Amino acid sequence: MTSKEFVSIRKELEKTQKEMAELLGASIKSVHSYEQGWRRIPGHVERQVFFLLANKSQAANRIKPCWDIKKCPTGRKEACPAWEFNAGNFCWFINGTICECRARKTWREKIALCRNCKVLISLAGDLLDPDGEEEQRS
């Protein structure tokens, strides 16, 4: 997640930096650092920010489950944690999902794939920076 995305989502959630820090269980200094790009946004914070956005907007309730969108065969679907926990709208939240035929080893690998997936795009599409991963690596 880029600093620009973090700020956009915080504003979409209608939260001040202080309120966002409280929601994330972080210090206000951390939120300042994320927004200024001084500190990389940790995976657990990125995941929680998307979770808050999904619940506030109710967008996750309006889309089909990931296994329907991706047309997963029965065997892959039944082996996937998103199916096991009936979380087809929150597949981006769960590590170990079998997207593109295999699970990713790290959150960074997983979210990079999710950024191009219809499930996450339908949740936060206009708030996502298409070059987001590049900014965080530099």
pLDDT in tens, 9-38: 999 999 999 999 999 999 999 999 999 999
pLDDT in tens, 44-56: 999 899 888 887 7
Listed in sequence order, the residues at least 6 apart from 70 whose beta carbon sits closer than 8 Å to its beta carbon are 99
pLDDT in tens, 79-122: 999 999 998 888 888 888 988 888 888 888 888 888 888 888 87
Owning domain of residue 49: 3-137
Residue 2 has pLDDT above 50, yes or no: yes
Q: How many structural domains compose the chain?
A: 1
Burial class (CB in 10 A: 0-12, 13-18, 19+), 98: buried
pLDDT for position 133: 52
